[in-house]
Chain A
Amino acid sequence: MMERDTVVKLENVGVRYRIVSERVATFKEYMIRRFQGKIALGDFWALRGVDLDIGKGEMLGLIGPNGAGKSTLLKLVARVMRPTKGRVWVKGVVAPLLEFGAGFHPDLTGRENIFLNGALLGFTNDEMQEKFDRIVDFAELWDFIDVPVRNYSSGMAARLGFAVATDIDPDILILDEVLSVGDESFQHKSLAKMEEFRDHGATIILVSHNMDTISDMCHRAVWLDHGQINMVGETKDVVSAYQEAQVPSED
């Protein structure tokens, strides 16, 4: 393996949710049950004992069944969550493409939402002014930029969200199954943009259920299941191992 800088390091990482055995949604209920001694807490480990190193410029694919802990792992790297156990170490600016237009407000115009979203991503007013034209160009929305977003079609909203989210120069990019949204031309555009990031030396972590995308784009892959890493290695090895495991065994 060639020498490279590590940009993301997960050491014995665990994420534990405390599940109350009975649904206790209100304070009144909680106090009553506490009184009755009926509160029992169960543990659910979304991730457990995860060790992972990701190098600079790498494209890492994250695959696994639903509920395996993939999104949780991304959230740890994006600083949205702190691990219950272990250590998460990240070097560089992280940009999550976790969901386009997550911060969009339907009553605001495209223009106003661009500035709002930019602020959510941590940019200042000056920086957003500079990026504004580029973003609208990429999204091809000059005619509608001063129209409230509630009047946009889902395709337009997706284009705008994508344009805002990708007009950045991150060190680490996180993609949670977002590349499959939108029509053909949009998908082309998004893939092209991903390749552009890769060529610029960004590190990319990609979660997808689409094995073709993973095989095409990623150098390495991680197979996550029930919160633990089943396998890490060359994409083709991991993908084929994963696909074999999907075939139900004969008992």
Chain B
Amino acid sequence: MDKPNEIPIYDSSNQGSLAVEELRAILNYRYLIVQLVRRDILTRYKRSSLGVAWTMLNPLGTMLILTIVFSQAFGGAQEGYAAYVLSGLIAWNFFAQSTNAATLHLVWGGSLLKKIYIPRTSFAVSATGTGLINLLLSLIPLILVMLIIQVPIRWTILLLPIPILFLAMFALGIGLLISTMAIYYADIAEMYQIFLTAWMYLSPVIWPPEILPEFYRLWITRLNPMFYLIELFRTPIIYGQVPDINLLLISAGIASFTLFAGWMFFTSKSDEFAYRV
């Protein structure tokens, strides 16, 4: 049956909390999210000759170059530098791609929003979903590299879903935040790209925290949310340890707060999107 037994009633004056409405809507439209993610993955696969393999090759290639260039400089401070840098790249790429895609989808796909009702957060959520699929695929070359350079793989790797979840929450929150601003100002998307690049260099993606002088280490690591999230990501897989409870709590806090703030901000403004000519 197409129709539910109860006839839906829409009353524009009777809106409860927009944030809750949106949450309900997104859950109702979960099949749409699946389809949008599928669309992203399929079109990427169809367009390139390497297809899905490119997802894995890209960070692998970067890692190779960085390892060759920097393993002397950083290798001393960090054992298994290749695995270190690859894991950092994978986590970072997930964040960067999801947030960028969320913004681009909303700005370019916005015309769809003006024609048919779909939950406004669909684009950001599906962008994060696509990012997750790519992230999971990239774990394969990471495991391979770890085996090759003999970084031990421990049972703690099974704890990986937790840091991945926090990374996803954080990415979704930021994605919602940036895409809301991008609707109003065309140059936000560009500015964000530049900001992202700077942010990456300020995060322990390529370099290990130990190489920083004590003073900078404090500022750059303590105030940078990605520091905690990337550390949490590396801990079970590269270091083979159970994450420290403090790290876990801080990361959970960052992820939850960012998602909440992003969701609230986005839903408070999303009614206006259709007005943006």
| A interface residues, Cβ below 8 angstroms from B | 17-18, 25-28, 30, 75-76, 78-83, 87-94, 96, 98-99, 102-103, 105, 107-108, 112, 115-116, 119-125, 127, 148, 168-169, 171
Asked if B7 contacts A107 (CB within 8 A), the reply is no
Q: Is the CB of B7 within 8 A of A91?
A: yes
Residue ID in chain B nearest A125 by CB atoms:
B31
Chain A nearest CB from B6 CB (Å) reads 11
Neighbour of A107 across the interface among B8, B43, B114, CB < 8 A? B43
Is B261 interfacial (CB 8 A cutoff)?
A: no
Q: Does B29 contact A (CB under 8 A)?
A: yes
- Give the complex CA separation of A75 and B277 in angstroms: 13
B3 contacts A93, C-beta separation under 8 Å: yes
Chain B residues in the interface with A (C-beta under 8 A): 2-3, 7-13, 15, 28-29, 31-32, 34-36, 38-39, 42-43, 46-47, 111-118, 181, 184-188, 191, 271, 274-275, 277
Residue B2 contacts which of A26, A30, A82, A127 (CB distance < 8 angstroms)? A127
Which residues in B have their C-beta under 8 angstroms from that of A123? 2, 31
Are the CB atoms of B3 and A87 closer together than 8 Å?
A: no
Per the bound structure, the CA–CA distance linking A87 and B34 in Å amounts to: 34
Residue of B nearest to A19 (CB): B277
Contact of A88 among B12, B28, B46, B188 (CB under 8 A): B12
Residue of A nearest to B111 (CB): A102
Is there an interface contact between B39 and A116, defined as CB atoms closer than 8 Å?
yes
Contact across chains for A80 and B115 when beta carbons are under 8 A apart: yes
How many Å lie between the Cα of A121 and that of B34 in the bound state? 14
Do A99 and B277 have beta carbons less than 8 Å apart?
no
Contacts of B32 in A (CB 8 A): 119-120, 122
Would B7 and A98 count as touching, CB distance under 8 A?
Answer: no
A79 to B7, alpha carbons, bound, how many Å?
A: 16
Say yes or no: B12 contacts A82, CB within 8 Å.
yes
